[in-house]
Copies of this chain bind each other. A is one copy, B any other.
Amino acid sequence: MKIHPMWKKYPSLQAELKACNALIEKNITIKNKDVNQKITELLSSGGKMLRPAYTIMFSQYKKDADSKKAQAIAAAIEVLHLATLVHDDVIDESPLRRGQETINSRYDNRVAVYTGDYLFTVCFRLLSDYVEDAGALQLDNNGMEKILIGELNQMDMTFNPKMTMRNYIHQIQGKTAQLFALSCYAGAYEEGSEKLAKAAYQIGNNIGLAFQIIDDILDYTQKTDVMGKPIMNDFKKGIYTAPLLFAMQENRRAFEPYIAKKEQISEEELEEVYHLIQQYRGEEKAKELADKYTQKALKQIERLPDNPVKEQLLIITEQALMRNN
């Protein structure tokens, strides 16, 4: 089982994440070899496992923490994340995920939807086997509701020229920040400190917001392999993110004709949009906002009680949120 190289510098955390991955593998009990292998591939295809890492780090705030329990919660959160990835790929008809053929592409949507469903049940089995308190379980439920509301909001706003930064923050709150917040919260909560858990929730929330904004910036700054043009997949799908929305605040009218073209937009026009975003400093402002949330998270971590794990939390958060920035 491969673990992302970023954890090499933290041998004890790396060992916990390996144990977490092994626990997931042990709980994937589909007898169909092909599907089993696709799930295992997804598991070991180089995801950073940031969410479970936060769960484990926050659980270590307590001396003599029950590491089996923390591993189970971390595993449940990673499996929940994988389930949403599998379903996202169905919805977006994506052929590839982390460089591997997706389940919907290899098999079909039916298998992929049910595989995602299966992963949900694995998530709940992990929680019910290892966690006595239903608190963590209930959280997942509320979490799913927030994700759903985020998605609903996104749908209403697709190709909508009235989309605003306010809507955007609301969307990424549900889509991404929620699960980061839960990851941190559950680690701290299960170790018994309600006060720490509340702080952890806020920290995870800010990390998640920064993480998603950075991801959305990459859609503009990363270039396609062949032509060297910006990817701009989100824009093509009518999903408007921070760089565009900041630029639109400066001159909404300049963008409206491009938005009105919807899926019919040409490659040349896409490049024009890209240059307009640069002109109105959309990318720069989006980076500033991501940085604002990162700094907020770092400050909140600094305010936590002193503990050996605090330094690690600071370094890893900085490292996670500095990618291609």
Contact = CB atoms under 8 A, between A and B. Distances in A.
Interface string A109-141: 111011111101110110111000010011011
Each complex incorporates copies of this chain amounting to 2
A115 B155 CA distance: 13
A78 to B, nearest CB: 16
A29 B83 CA distance: 22
Does more than half of chain A's interface fall in helix, strand or loop, or is it mixed? Answer: helix
A149 B147 CA distance: 28
Nearest to A129: B134
A130 to B, nearest CB: 10
Given A120-B120, A141-B125, A111 B155 contact: yes
A91 B109 contact: yes
Contacts of A140: 121, 124
Interface stretch (A7-15, A30-38, A295-303): A30-38
A152 interface: yes
Contacts of A318: none
A87 interface: yes
A129 B135 CA distance: 10
A148 B35 contact: yes
A35 to B, nearest CB: 7
A319 B110 CA distance: 32
A144 interface: yes
Contacts of A128: 124, 127-128, 134, 137-138
Given A124-B137, A155-B110, A149 B32 contact: yes
Interface string A79-118: 0000110010011000000000000000111110111111
Interface in A202-225: none
Contacts of A291: none
Interface of A: 29-32, 35, 83-84, 87, 90-91, 107-111, 113-118, 120-122, 124-125, 127-129, 134, 137-138, 140-141, 144-145, 147-149, 151-152, 154-155
